[in-house]
Amino acid sequence: MTTHAHGTFAVQLTPQALAHAEADASLGRLSIDKQFQGDLVGSSQGEMLSARTGVESSAGYVAIERVTGALHGRQGSFVLQHSGTVDRGAQQLVISVVPDSGTGDLVGLVGTMTLDIADGVHAYDLVYTLPDLAQRDQE
């Protein structure tokens, strides 16, 4: 069964040194720290790599973050993989749960997340499936 988890999150992005000091200034590396509220209650930590271009409204980023907490009351962790581009202002973002990354009560989690930022408030919608705990324990 497909389920939706909705809520908000606070995020802090902190610039980090690039692995290669001689890399072009248009490249960036940031640490990610988030606090989730709503159907997902917990935190995440991760890393983001970004690239700016000579065109103000074009850029790209990739990120990986481990989320730890409770999803609709089920405790555990999972990993999200981000891939985003902005093409002259047109945004495209894909955030997926990394296959087999779920732990604890979240083993078997599969899903995708969308984000919305309005009036400075960050919101998420996680569409996911998760095996029934009783069924999972029998396997």
Query: What per-residue confidence (pLDDT) applies to 24?
Result: 81
| Angle at 80 (CA atoms; ends 76, 82), nearest 5 degrees | 170
Share of the chain above pLDDT 70, in %: 95
- Summarize pLDDT for 32-55 with one digit per residue, the tens: 999 999 999 999 999 999 999 999
* Strand runs labelled E in 53-89: 59-71, 74-87
Cβ–Cβ < 8 Å for 103, 92: no
CA distances from 135 to 100, 127, 132 (A): 17, 21, 5
**Band (132; pLDDT cuts 50, 70, 90):** confident
Give me 95's structure tokens. Answer: 């955030």
- 69 pLDDT higher than 80: yes
* Among candidate residues 97, 110, 106, the one with its CA nearest the CA of residue 136: 106
Mean pLDDT of 84-108: 97
Query: What per-residue confidence (pLDDT) applies to 3?
Result: 96
* Among candidate residues 84, 109, 113, 108, the one with its CA nearest the CA of residue 96: 113
Q: Which domains does the chain have, with CATH numbers?
A: 3-18+25-138 (2.40.350.10)
Sign of CA dihedral 125, 90, 80, 30: negative
- Summarize pLDDT for 16-35 with one digit per residue, the tens: 999 887 778 799 999 999 99
